[in-house]
Chains A and B, each alone.
Chain A
Amino acid sequence: MLAGAGAAGAGVVAGFFARPGTNPGDPAGGVVGDSGVTVPFYGPHQAGIATAAQDRLAFGSLNVVVGATRADLRDLLRAWTTAAASMAAGKLVGEDTRPYAPPVDTGEAIGSPVSQLTITLGYGPSLFDHRFGLADRKPSALGQLPALPNEDLDPGYTGGDLCIQACADDPLVAFHAVRNLARIGMGVVEHNWMELGFGRTSTTTTSQATPRNLLGFKDGTRNIKAEEKALMDDWVWVGGETDQPWLRGGSYLIARKIRIFVENWDRDYLKDQQNVIGRAKVSGAPLTGGGEFTAPDFAASGSDDQPAIPANAHIRLASFEHNGGTRILRRGYSFTDGIDPQTGTLLGGLFFIAFMKSPAQFIRLQQSLAADALNEYIQHTGSAVFACPPGLHSGQRWGDTLFT
C-alpha cells in the first residue's frame, strides 16, 4: 500500500484547481473541505490502485499514432508526468499568461476541489511490439487475454497501447485529467476509446462502506483491502517473480466493459436474484446467514438438501475458495453509454477494473465464471490489459526505467 497515502488514502493538503495568481483559500475558489484533499502522486506504488476508491472514473485507452518514434513516446511520458503530478496536486497543467496563445489548460476544473484525484498509467501489450524498441522490455505475463466465456468484444472497446485511469470524487476533475493528458499527447497518441464511470462498485479499504452495482447488490464485500498488506503483496503488487525489473512494485490492470441487461434482471424475482448472486439483496449477507461480512459457508445445504449457496451462484464461482486461493483487487465503476439505439434498452453496466500480480489470476477467475448464473444477464463487450509501472519518486518520470 502507498506510503503516506494508504488506507485513509490521502494527505491532508487542501487542493483546488486554482487559476495562477489566485489564492486557493479564497472564498471565491470554493469552500475548503474534505473534497480538497490530495492523494500523493509520488510513492512506491502508483496512486489509484490501493487508494480508497473514489466515486468517479475517467478511463482513456490510447494508441500511439503511426509515425511517432521512440523519442516522441519517451518525451510524452515525461510531459505526462509533469502534468499528472501537477493535476494531482490540484494545479492546472500550466499557466495562461499569453492572451494570444490557446490556453495551456483546458480550464473546466478551475475552482473545483481536487477531489482526491489519482492518475494511473498503464502500458498495453502492443506497446512492446517492434515500433519503439521495447520488445525486450515486455513482461512475459503481459499478453492478449485468451478468448473467455460470455464475451462478445467490440473492437472499438478493446486493447490500447497505453491507458490513463483517472479517479476522483468529482467527475469533472477526473475527466479534466484524461482530456488534458490526451491533448498534450496529440501528435503522438490518439484515443482508442474512453469510458466514464459513475459510482464506484468496489471497496478497497476497510474504512469504506460497500457500494452497490447496477444489479442493486453490494459489490466488493470480499475484495482485497489495502490494509491487508500480505494479500496485497501476494496478489496485487508485482514482485521478484517478474522477468522485467522495471515492473516490480507495479501491477497488472485488466479492464472489462461488462454490459448488464438491466431490464431482464429487473424482471427476475427477488429470491432468484439472490440465488444468482449468492447473497441477500438488501443486507448483503451470504445466503448461509450472518451479516454482510460473515464468511459464506459454501458447504452448507439448504432445506432442500441443495447447497444453500447454489452451485452456479456468482459469489461461489468467483470466490478464492473455489479458485485455489486466487484473488484480485477489484476497482470498478458503473457506467452507461446511454440507450442502445437498436433496442431502446440501457447500454450500461459495470466497467470492471481489477489489479493483480499476474493476468493469469483474472483468466482463472473468468474461466470459472463460465457456469455463472449471472451470465444470463451480462455480457463482456470490451477488454484490455495493461502493465502499470510502479510509483515514482520525486524527480523521476514515467518511462525512465523503461527507456534505458
Chain B
Amino acid sequence: MRTHGNSTRYSAIPAAQPTRGPRQARRRFAPPVIVLAAVTGLALASAGCSSAHGSSGSQAGQESGSGKTTAVAIDLTPRGCAPRPASVPAGEVDFTITNKNAGAVSEAELRTSDLSKILAEQENLTPGLSGGFSLDIQPGSYKINCPGAAQQHWTFTVTGKQVGPSWQSSTQLAAAVRSYSAYVNQNTAGLVARTQAFCRAIDAGNMSQAEVLYPKARIYYERIEPVAEIWGSLDTDIDGRWENPVTVASQFIGFHRIEQLIWDDNTLTGTPKLCSGLVANERQLLTLVRSAQYNPLEMASGATDLINEAATSKITGEEERYSNTDFPVFQANVDGAMEVVSLLRPYLTHKDPALLTQISKRAAAVMALLAKYKASPGYDDTGYVEYSTVLHPQRRQLSAAVNALAESLSGLSVQVST
C-alpha cells in the first residue's frame, strides 16, 4: 500500500500562479499545509490529487468562469477564527491563516457545514506563524473550525452558480467515470467477501487455508487502493504496515498484522478478532465508495499511483514481507492501472494515440516479465512463485519495466484534464 505517511503528493506548481509569488515567499517557513479534500459541491472528492497551494485535482477541467482567485484572511485569536471576508464568489480561494496571539489555538480547518468532513486544514500554527491553503470551492455554506477558541465554528459562504465539471460533456469520459465507479464498487464488494472467507478459515483454526486465502483477498484491495487512500485512516487500518505509518502496536490491526502473526509468529492466536475488525473496516469502505464520485483526473493519477506503488513496495518485497506473496498483489496493481487505461481507451484513441500505444507496449513488457514467474498452482496457490526466490538482477529488470510503465502513465493526467 501507499500509506498516507508517504502518499502526500508534492505540491504541483501550476504553470501560472502570478498572484501567489510573493505570498509563497512569505510563507516559506510556515508549517506544512494539508489539503484533505477538494470541494465539489456535495460530491465526495478525492484528496489524491489535491495539494496545498495547488489547484485541486478534482477540479480538473472545471476551472470556474472568472478564473480569479479570492483571498481570505483568518486571524487565529483566543476568541476564534473569523474569515475575512466571510462570503466569497465560487472559484479558487486562497486562505491565509495567521496566529496573532492565540496560545490555545493552533489550527484552522475548512469543513462542510454539518462539520462532518474536513476539506482543508492548516495545523501547527503557534503564535507568530502563518500558513494557508488554496482550493476551488463550489457554492454552498461551510464552516471554519478552530479547536480551542472561545467560538470554535465560523460560517463561511460561497456564492454563485454551481459549475459542472467540463469533462461531463464528453460522453466518453463520462462513461469511463461511470464504469470506473462500478469497478471500484465491485472490487470493494469482492474485498469484503474474500476477506470474510479468509476470516472463516482463521475462525476454523485452519492456518494453511488462511495462508491460501490471504492473497486472494488482498488483490481486490490492491486494484483500487488509490481510491481507498482517500480515507486515510481507513487505509491505514486496513492495509497499514508496521512502520509505515502505524508504529503503534495497538493501531497495527489490518491485513499486515494478521500476515505477521500467521507467517512470522506462526500462530492464529488473536487473529479472529483482528479479522472481524478488518471486515468491519472494509464494510465501512464499501459504504463510502458507493456514494463516492470520481473524475477522470483522479482515475489517471490513481493509475500512476498504483504502478508507483508496485515500483516501490512490491519490487522490494517490502509490502508482503512476512508472506512473500508479493506477486499476486503486484499483478493486482497492474490490473487496476490498466483497467483505467482500458476505460479511457475510447477517449485516448482520438486524444493521444501515441501515448496509448506507448502505455500498451510498456504494460505488455511488464506482463511478459511477470509471466516468467507464473506457476501452477504456485506458492500458496497464488499462481506465482514465492517472491523471495526472485533475485537481485531479476528485480532490477522488473523495476525498470514498471518504472517505464509508470512514467508513461503519468502522461494520462494532462490528456484527461484538458
- Which residues of A are interface residues toward B (Cβ below 8 A)? 65-67, 96-103, 107, 183, 186-188, 190
B407 touches A98 (CB 8 A): no
In the complex, which residues of chain B have a beta carbon less than 8 angstroms from the beta carbon of A107?
A: 13
Judged by a CB distance under 8 angstroms, whether B12 is at the interface is yes
Do A187 and B15 contact each other (CB < 8 Å), given the known contacts A100-B413, A101-B413?
no
Of B60, B358, B400, B408, the residue contacting A100 (CB under 8 A) is B60
A99 touches B55 (CB 8 A): yes
Do A100 and B417 contact each other (CB < 8 Å), given the known contacts A66-B397, A187-B362, A190-B396?
yes
Q: How far is the CB of A180 from chain B (nearest CB, A)?
A: 13
Judged by a CB distance under 8 angstroms, whether B403 is at the interface is yes
Interface of B is mostly: helix
A187 touches B404 (CB 8 A): yes
CB contact list, B105-132 vs A, under 8 A: none
In the complex, which residues of chain B have a beta carbon less than 8 angstroms from the beta carbon of A96?
A: 13, 15
Q: How far is the CB of B384 from chain A (nearest CB, A)?
A: 19
Q: Which 8 A-B pairs have the closest CB atoms?
A: A187-B404, A101-B414, A100-B417, A190-B400, A99-B14, A186-B407, A100-B414, A65-B400
B403 touches A186 (CB 8 A): yes
In the complex, which residues of chain B have a beta carbon less than 8 angstroms from the beta carbon of A66?
A: 365, 397, 400-401
Instruction: Count how many pairs of residues, one from A and one from B, have CB atoms less than 8 Å apart in the complex.
Output: 53
In the complex, which residues of chain B have a beta carbon less than 8 angstroms from the beta carbon of A67?
A: 365, 368, 401
Do A98 and B362 contact each other (CB < 8 Å), given the known contacts A65-B401, A65-B404, A186-B404?
no
The 20 sampled A-B contact pairs (Cβ below 8 Å) are: A65-B400, A65-B404, A66-B365, A66-B397, A67-B365, A97-B15, A98-B15, A98-B414, A98-B418, A100-B60, A100-B413, A100-B414, A100-B418, A102-B410, A183-B407, A186-B404, A187-B358, A187-B407, A187-B408, A190-B399
Judged by a CB distance under 8 angstroms, whether B297 is at the interface is yes
Interface centre among A100, A103, A186, by most chain B C-beta atoms within 10 angstroms, is A100
Alpha-carbon distance A272/B9, docked complex (angstroms): 56
Judged by a CB distance under 8 angstroms, whether B411 is at the interface is yes
- Closest residue of chain B to A110 (Cβ to Cβ) is B13
Contacts A66-B365, A100-B297, A187-B405 aside, 11 further interface pairs with beta carbons under 8 A come to: A65-B397, A66-B400, A67-B401, A96-B13, A99-B15, A100-B60, A100-B418, A101-B411, A186-B407, A187-B404, A188-B404
Alpha-carbon distance A81/B400, docked complex (angstroms): 22
In the complex, which residues of chain B have a beta carbon less than 8 angstroms from the beta carbon of A97?
A: 15
In the complex, which residues of chain B have a beta carbon less than 8 angstroms from the beta carbon of A102?
A: 410-411, 413
Taken residue by residue from 384 to 418, chain B's Cβ proximity to chain A (1 for < 8 Å, 0 otherwise) reads as 00000000000011011101110110110110011
In the complex, which residues of chain B have a beta carbon less than 8 angstroms from the beta carbon of A98?
A: 15, 414, 418
In the complex, which residues of chain A have a beta carbon less than 8 angstroms from the beta carbon of B12?
A: 99, 103
Q: How far is the CB of B62 from chain A (nearest CB, A)?
A: 11
Alpha-carbon distance A70/B24, docked complex (angstroms): 46
Taken residue by residue from 339 to 376, chain B's Cβ proximity to chain A (1 for < 8 Å, 0 otherwise) reads as 00000000000000000001000100100100000000
Alpha-carbon distance A268/B408, docked complex (angstroms): 55
- Closest residue of chain A to B301 (Cβ to Cβ) is A100
Alpha-carbon distance A85/B221, docked complex (angstroms): 45
Alpha-carbon distance A97/B17, docked complex (angstroms): 11
In the complex, which residues of chain B have a beta carbon less than 8 angstroms from the beta carbon of A187?
A: 358, 362, 404-405, 407-408
Q: How far is the CB of B297 from chain A (nearest CB, A)?
A: 6
In the complex, which residues of chain B have a beta carbon less than 8 angstroms from the beta carbon of A65?
A: 397, 400-401, 404
- Closest residue of chain B to A67 (Cβ to Cβ) is B365
Interface centre among B15, B358, B418, by most chain A C-beta atoms within 10 angstroms, is B15
In the complex, which residues of chain B have a beta carbon less than 8 angstroms from the beta carbon of A183?
A: 407
Interface centre among A103, A107, A186, by most chain B C-beta atoms within 10 angstroms, is A186
Alpha-carbon distance A97/B15, docked complex (angstroms): 5
Interface centre among B60, B358, B368, B413, by most chain A C-beta atoms within 10 angstroms, is B413
Q: How far is the CB of A100 from chain B (nearest CB, A)?
A: 4
Alpha-carbon distance A187/B12, docked complex (angstroms): 24
Interface centre among B57, B368, B400, by most chain A C-beta atoms within 10 angstroms, is B400
In the complex, which residues of chain B have a beta carbon less than 8 angstroms from the beta carbon of A190?
A: 396, 399-400, 403
Alpha-carbon distance A186/B409, docked complex (angstroms): 12
In the complex, which residues of chain A have a beta carbon less than 8 angstroms from the beta carbon of B400?
A: 65-66, 190
Alpha-carbon distance A187/B366, docked complex (angstroms): 11
B13 touches A103 (CB 8 A): yes
In the complex, which residues of chain A have a beta carbon less than 8 angstroms from the beta carbon of B410?
A: 102
- Closest residue of chain A to B400 (Cβ to Cβ) is A190
Alpha-carbon distance A97/B16, docked complex (angstroms): 8
CB contact list, B180-230 vs A, under 8 A: none
Q: How far is the CB of B383 from chain A (nearest CB, A)?
A: 23
- Closest residue of chain A to B404 (Cβ to Cβ) is A187
Alpha-carbon distance A100/B418, docked complex (angstroms): 8
Alpha-carbon distance A187/B411, docked complex (angstroms): 14
- Closest residue of chain B to A103 (Cβ to Cβ) is B13
- Closest residue of chain B to A72 (Cβ to Cβ) is B361
In the complex, which residues of chain B have a beta carbon less than 8 angstroms from the beta carbon of A99?
A: 12, 14-15, 54-55
Alpha-carbon distance A188/B358, docked complex (angstroms): 12
Alpha-carbon distance A67/B398, docked complex (angstroms): 12
In the complex, which residues of chain A have a beta carbon less than 8 angstroms from the beta carbon of B404?
A: 65, 186-188
Alpha-carbon distance A66/B364, docked complex (angstroms): 12
- Closest residue of chain B to A107 (Cβ to Cβ) is B13
In the complex, which residues of chain A have a beta carbon less than 8 angstroms from the beta carbon of B401?
A: 65-67
Interface centre among A66, A103, A187, A190, by most chain B C-beta atoms within 10 angstroms, is A187
In the complex, which residues of chain A have a beta carbon less than 8 angstroms from the beta carbon of B358?
A: 187
In the complex, which residues of chain A have a beta carbon less than 8 angstroms from the beta carbon of B397?
A: 65-66
In the complex, which residues of chain A have a beta carbon less than 8 angstroms from the beta carbon of B411?
A: 101-102
Interface centre among B13, B14, B404, B408, by most chain A C-beta atoms within 10 angstroms, is B404
Alpha-carbon distance A390/B407, docked complex (angstroms): 31
